[in-house]
Structure 1
Amino acid sequence: MFSVNPIEWIGYLASILIVISLTMSNIKKLRIINSLGCLAFVIYGVAVKAYPVAISNFAIVIINLYYLYKLKNSNN
């Protein structure tokens, strides 16, 4: 029988969100969805003790937040 560990579902969700983010033509939506995927990868990476995955995805979240902040301030 096919059985998936609950933490693996977080990894699958993260992958799906990253792929979906890359289909976005709107940069704001891309960065938001990508950040959600990266946050899921941070959780997954910590849970499976894959710290390089967690650290790199945490860095991407910070980068996305920085550019979202810049986008918000440039529209005002």
Structure 2
Amino acid sequence: MDSAMMWEWVGYLASVVVAISLMMSDIKKLRWLNLFGAMLFVAYGIAIQAYPVAAVNFFIVLIDIYYLVVIYREQAASASD
């Protein structure tokens, strides 16, 4: 399998992971799966030199990380009460 074909499959996998993440009712699972899918899209975008794809998905990675930190902090605060 050549490199271009491999990256094409990474793009397909990223699409599937993001689609599955949007079907999650648990927000934590949604954020984790979406984070993974967005990271795959960042790698895909860089590999095929589609820098807008990489940039938007890098921003999504940051958003997912932010909200995961918020979720885990809230859980820690409510557990200590």
TM score, norm. by length of structure 2 = 0.88
* C-alpha distance in structure 2 between counterparts of 1:8 and 1:72, whole Å: 34
Q: What is the identity percentage for the equivalent residue pairs of Structure 1 and Structure 2?
A: 51
Indicate the residue corresponding to 1:28 in structure 2: 28
Match in the other structure for 1:71: 71
Query: Which of structures 1 and 2 has the bigger CA Rg?
Result: 2
Q: What does 1:10-21 correspond to in 2, within 5 Å?
A: 10-21=10-21
Q: What is residue 51 of structure 1 aligned with on the other side?
A: 51
Structure 1 unmatched runs, 5+: none
- Number of residues paired by the alignment? 73
Name structure 2 gaps, 5 residues minimum: 77-81
Distance (Å, rounded) in 2 between the aligned partners of 1:57 and 1:50: 11
The equivalent residue for 1:37 is: 37
2:40 partner letter: A
